[in-house]
Amino acid sequence: MIVQICVGSSCHIKGSHEIVDLMKKAVEEYALEDEVILAGSFCIGKCNREGVTIQIDDDVCTGVTVRGFDAFFKEQILGRLNM
């Protein structure tokens, strides 16, 4: 699974940095290093009013915030991996 967190300007100021840190930590916590490939991206083209855009393989999720990260991770990452 390729997970691209947008670090383009718009997402950057809405917290890409924090989301990247949370994602790295979560991947480590669940030992998903072999399943999940983390990568950056400059603008996925879905700039949102709130939160960060994350592309998982070909699907685009918008509005990921620090507060909503746990729910996002469970649903979108763990959910997709059937964990």
Partner 1 sequence: MRKFDTKVQHLKYKILREVARLAWTDDLLEHVTDIPAMITQGIEATMRCCVHKEQAIASERVKLAMGGDRSNPNVIQVIEMACDECPVGGYKVTDVCRGCLAHRCEDVCKKGAITFDENHVAHIDKSKCVNCGMCAKVCPYGAIQDFKRPCERACKVGAIAKDPVKECASINNNKCISCGACVYQCPFGAIMDASYILDVIDMVKKSDNNKNYKVYAIIAPAIASQFSYAKHGQIVSGIKALGFHTVVEAALGGDMVALTESQELVEKGFLTSSCCPAFVSYVQKEFPDLAPYISHNMSPMGALSKYIKETDPTAKIAFIGPCTAKKMEFQKDGVAPYVDAVITFEELQALFDSKDLDISTMSEDFLDNASYYGRIFARSGGLSDAVVQAIKEQGIENFEVSSVVCDGIEACKLALMKARALLKARKPLGFNFIEGMACQGGCIGGAGCLTHGEKNKMEVDKYGKLAHEKTIKGAVSVLNQD
What SS3 class is residue 9? helix
Q: Which two tokens stand for residue 50?
A: 């709130």
By CB under 8 A, is residue 68 in contact with partner 1?
no
By CB under 8 A, is residue 71 in contact with partner 1?
no
For the CB of residue 51, give the shortest distance to partner 1 in the complex, in Å.
14
Q: What are the C-alpha distances in Å from 62 to residues 5, 8, 13, 32, 46?
A: 10, 13, 14, 22, 7
By CB under 8 A, is residue 67 in contact with partner 1?
no
Site residues for partner 1 per CB under 8 A:
4-5, 7-10, 12-13, 16-17, 20, 23-24, 37-43, 45, 47
